[in-house]
Amino acid sequence: MPPPPACVKKRALSAETETTEESIARDLLAALEVVVFDQDRDRTLRLAGAIPEWFARFRPGALSSPPRIEAALGSPFLENFLADAEGFWTAGESGRLRSGLWTEPGPMGDDFHLEASAVRLGARRFLLIEDQTPGYVEKQSVLQRARSNALRSREGRREEEKKAR
């Protein structure tokens, strides 16, 4: 079996939990670099499962023991989304509520492009956060190249029009 990707926080699994449905789901979410929070009855967010490497850089306090999780992770955007999620969870709707993409500065000044989802499974409320930075950076690069190519093309047409006069 190949080693886990470097981007995932490594943790040992006991032999008895390696094949449970819960551990498979937890490990799958970690491999997809999704951080999962379970919301307690008092609306406190509690980490559920492995912590992806990007989240350890985004909120280093999550690695402390016990983890220090600020309300809404100290994010005004996430605080607003959690208010929307509360309505979603209370209504008992199935599926998930997505936050849309937002950008949040990390403690070292680097930007994280994130998307959150609220999910309800039975009476349990989950908040999932995905790092969209790799896809965001790639799309930004493609769009910038397209803009640059369009500008060069427009400049070329103007030059040809000047020569034709």
Higher-confidence position of 159 and 112: 112
Condensed to tens digits (0 to 9), the pLDDT of residues 116-147 reads 999 999 889 999 999 998 766 666 666 677 67
Is the pLDDT at 13 greater than 60? The verdict is no
User: Tokens 């955007």 sit at which residue?
Assistant: 77
pLDDT band (50, 70, 90) for residue 10: very low
pLDDT for 23 equals 77
Q: Where are the beta strands (DSSP E) in the chain?
A: 34-39, 45-47, 96-98, 102-105, 111-121, 124-131
Output the CATH code of domain 21-131: 3.30.450.20
Percent of the chain with pLDDT over 90: 33
pLDDT for 9 equals 45
pLDDT for 45 equals 87
Higher-confidence position of 150 and 143: 150
pTM for the structure as a whole:
0.70
What is the average pLDDT value for the chain, to the nearest integer? 80
Condensed to tens digits (0 to 9), the pLDDT of residues 21-80 reads 877 887 788 788 899 999 888 888 888 888 888 998 998 887 776 666 777 788 899 999
